[in-house]
Structure 1
Amino acid sequence: MEVTTLSYDNIHNHGMLFANLFRARHKTFIRMAGWDLPEADGMEFDQYDTPASRWVAVHERGEVLAGVRLTPTTHRCGIYSYMIRDAQRGLLETIPDTLLNFPAPVDPNIWESSRVFVSDAVPAGDRLRVQMQLIHEMVISARTLGATQLLGIIPEHSPRLARRVGLDCQPAGPVLDMGGSRSVCVTISMATKLH
């Protein structure tokens, strides 16, 4: 199993990995979860997949097992900034504007974590190991990018898993029903040491 952080600067070094990450997102979010998201050629993408973002992929023999997107909270592209802030500003119909208990930050040391997934093809016995690899690389990448904190939307019970592996993950909003699943906005400190 390998873990790679992708950017527009290095995608040419990783063959089909970038496209396969978007295909795995398509399977997870469109085919399996039934979300109405932009798609082309069997790949899911949105307005936040820009050169400012980074993508962490856990993969094995070309198959993407898990992934996450990191986006700086300072980024802007047209009317869009980052998903949580844009939801709070009322720009996204599918995410309630009440998701966060405070104004969405615009700070070079805070990055957003979004489009987090683990493929349904990962056997139950391997899921924790894959999640650990994803979290570990996400933290390394975020710290390398200068992040001291991440802001993200995760399933309602995921903060317990995060704390179990040593992440300081705190709820930052109410539990909301989004796309048929109960999720919560969280802050994740990059200062803690992973187990």
Structure 2
Amino acid sequence: MTKVHVITRDNRHLYEDPLEEYFRLRHEVFVKERGWRDLHRPDGREIDAYDNGNAVYLLALDQDHVVGGQRLYPTVMPHMLSEVFGHMAQRGIPRAEHIFEWTRYFVIKERRMGRTDCRLLAAVQEFCLQEGITELTAVVEMWWLPRWQQTGFKVKPLGLPTVIEGQPCIAAAITISRESLDQVRRLAGLRDSMLVRDDQMSPVLERVPHVAA
């Protein structure tokens, strides 16, 4: 059964191969499939300045292969919304130790008709509840909004839609809640946690700087 593995700087050395696969799949999905040409790299790896020791990855693994993934990053540090898409958040950019940015989410083509998507969405809610993260920010295509509504996510737009790479996109904040987790778990057919995490992993918020960058 597919499990979602939590990867931080504490255990990153144990996941070198899955992370490499994740970066290559990001290139396949975001550059080749979605046409985000600015992300093209000749080595076929989609990787950016936020793939550093502050990033948290939640990777869906099936028999040691990545079938989906997502990245979380502290908002008190320079991040994608603050540095690249700030113009999309006319209502202001939420920044706090307990607010993280949510980026680079995907499910591989072969698994999009199953429950992998809902399991990844359940995983991000569960992880954030465990870690004391109360809100996520994201810049996404508009088609995400009805999808999030179906899964019980509570979403607040941060500004007006903007066209990016030919697609209308929006900056939004997502509230983390037990109710949202329960709803998406029902859709995913989950009764228990599907997170795999190292017991020795330090709490994520302990590593977040206490002042905004």
**Is TM-score (shorter-chain normalized) higher than 0.5?**
yes
Kept in 2, the 8 Å contact 1:65–1:119? The answer is yes
Superposition RMSD in Å: 1.9
Letter in 2 for 1:115: R
Q: CA deviation at 1:15?
A: 5.1
Q: Going by fraction, where is helix more abundant, 1 or 2?
A: 2
TM superposition shift of 1:141: 2.1
2:164 paired with 1:164: no
Q: Are residues 192 and 175 of structure 1, via their aligned partners in 2, closer, same or farther at CA, if it must alter by over 3 Å?
A: farther
- The structure whose RCO (Cα within 8 Å, separation 6+) is larger is 2
Is the Cα–Cα contact under 8 Å of residues 94 and 137 in structure 2 kept in the other structure? no
Question: Cα distance 1:15–1:71, how it changes in 2: closer, same or farther (>3 A)?
Answer: closer
> In the TM superposition, what is the alpha-carbon distance from 1:47 to its structure 2 partner?
0.7
Residues 171 and 187, structure 1, Cα contact 8 Å, conserved in 2: yes
Instruction: Give runs of ≥4 in structure 1 deviating > 3 Å.
Output: 38-41
Residue 103 (structure 1) aligned with residue 103 (structure 2): no
Match of 2:138 in 1: 152
Match of 2:70 among 68, 82, 87: 68
Partner of 1:186: 172
The equivalent residue for 2:31 is 30
The TM-score, its normalising length taken from structure 2, stands at: 0.76
- One-letter identity of the residue aligned with 1:139: Q
Shift of the alpha carbon at 1:60?
Answer: 1.4
Gaps of at least 5 residues in structure 2 are 184-213
1:1-195 aligned at under 5 Å gives the runs 1-14=2-15, 16-35=17-36, 36-37=38-39, 39=41, 41-75=43-77, 81-88=78-85, 97-122=86-111, 124-126=112-114, 129-193=115-179, 194=181, 195=183
Q: Aligned partners of 2:108, 2:165: CA distance in 1, in Å? A: 18
Query: Is the 1:85–1:105 Cα contact (8 Å) retained in structure 2?
Result: no
1:71–1:40 CA distance, 2 compared to 1 (3 A): farther
- Provide structure 1 residue ranges, at least 5 long, that are not aligned to the other structure: 76-80, 89-96
Cα offsets for 1:163-194 (capped at 9, x unmatched): 22221122222122112222211111012422
Amino acid paired to 2:174:
I
Mark the CA change 1:38 to 1:72 in structure 2 (over 3 Å): closer, same or farther.
Answer: farther
